[in-house]
Amino acid sequence: MNKPFRSINQQIGILNRRGVTTDENTAQILMREGYYAVVNGYGKAFLNTGESRRSGDDQFIKGTTFNQIYQLYLFDRKLRSITFSAIMCVESTLRSILAYTFTEQHRKASAYLWRSSYTPENEYIRGRQAHKGDLTWMIDTLEHHARGHVEDEHEDVRPNERVDWYRTHYEAVPLWVLFSDLTFGNLRYFFALMKRDEQKSVCNRMRSTCDTTHDGNTLAPLGMYHDLEALSELRNACAHVERIYNGRFGTNPVMDFHQISKTLMAYLAEDDEQEFLQSVQDLVDEYATSDDGVARALALEGFVPAS
C-alpha cells in the first residue's frame, strides 16, 4: 500500500483534525519546507501520547499550533548551523595535525601510498579483521585524489587544479594537499590507520592545541578515535539536515546533544569554544522564551534559558 499524495489544503486538514491550529502562513511554510520535514520531524514533542494510543492516530496536546512545531524546526536548523561551523574548526585542526604528524615521520612524498607506512593489523584500533580492507580502501582513496581528478555533483570528472600543479612541478602530491579533499570520515579512518606512536603524537598535539582531555584524563588514541566517530555522525547529521536537538550520536558511549557538545568543545580552541557555547545559549534563550509550548519541548531535551 502506497502513501497517497496529499495537497497542501489536505495536509492542513489533517493537522486540524489532529488538534493543531493553523494560520494564514501555514500553507506557504508547508510548500516551502514540506510536511514530512516539519510535522513528522518535530511534531512528536507536542503529541498527546495517551490520546494518540486510544485513537490509533496522532493527536496533539490541546492548544498546539503549527507555528510552535515550525519554531522548533527553525531552532534545530539554527542549532545545526552553529554546530556545523564549530565542527569545521575541528576538521581544519585535524587535517593540519594529521598531515604534519604523518609527513614528519614519512618524508618521502608518496609514502602515504605504501602499506608499510601504516599500523600493523595486530595494533589496529578497529580490529584485525577490518585492517586489510580499511587500509586498501584508504590507499585507493588517496591514490584516486593524487591522480588529480574530482567528481562534481553530477559525477562528471574534472581536473583538480591544485593537485595538477603539484603533479607538474614535483615528484608527488604532498599529503596535506590531498587532505583538503578528504571528508571528516576519511580523516577518522586515516587516524585509525596511523602507527601507534604517531597516533600518540596526534593526541599530544591536539591536547596542547585545544587543551583536549578524554573523560578527565589525558587523550589517548582509542578515546580520540571514538570521539572522531561520534563527531563524524554529528557532522553528517548537520550536513544532511537531520535532527540534532534530540539526536543520539556515537556508540561508545551513545551521547545526546549536550554530551557530544562537550566532546566537540574539547577539540576547539578556547575562543572557538566560547563562541560555540555563547551561540547555543543565545539561541536557546531566543526560542525558549518566545512560547511556553516551545519552551516545554526544548526543556524535554535539556535546553533551558539562562537564569
Q: What is the mean pLDDT of residues 153-181?
A: 70
Nearest to 249 by CA among 237, 267, 239: 237
Least confident of 3-7, 79-83, 187-191, 240-244: 3-7
| Residue 181, pLDDT score | 87
Average pLDDT value over all residues in the chain: 91
As a whole number of angstroms, the distance between CA 31 and CA 82 comes to 26
| Residue 154, pLDDT score | 54
As a whole number of angstroms, the distance between CA 48 and CA 19 comes to 10
| First-last CA distance in the chain | 51
Percent of the chain with pLDDT over 90: 80
Q: What is the mean pLDDT of residues 90-94?
A: 96
As a whole number of angstroms, the distance between CA 1 and CA 296 comes to 36
Mind listing the pLDDT tens digit for each residue in 99-149? 999 999 999 989 999 999 999 999 999 999 999 999 999 999 999 888 776
ω before 253 within 30° of 0 (cis)?
yes
pLDDT for residue 171 is more than 80: no
pTM of the model as a whole:
0.91
Strand partners, 149: 159
User: Domain extents for the chain?
Assistant: 8-73+288-299, 75-283
| Residue 86, pLDDT score | 98
Q: Could you give the angle at which helices 8-17 and 26-33 cross, rounded to 10 degrees?
A: 110
| Residue 51, pLDDT score | 92
| Residue 153, pLDDT score | 54
pLDDT for residue 161 is more than 70: no
| Residue 216, pLDDT score | 54
| Residue 213, pLDDT score | 54
Contact 302, 281 (CB under 8 A): no
The DSSP call for residue 245 is T
| Residue 1, pLDDT score | 75
| Residue 203, pLDDT score | 95
| Residue 149, pLDDT score | 62
| Residue 217, pLDDT score | 59
Q: What is the mean pLDDT of residues 44-56?
A: 93
**Alpha-helical runs (H) found in 170-254:** 175-178, 184-193, 196-210, 221-239
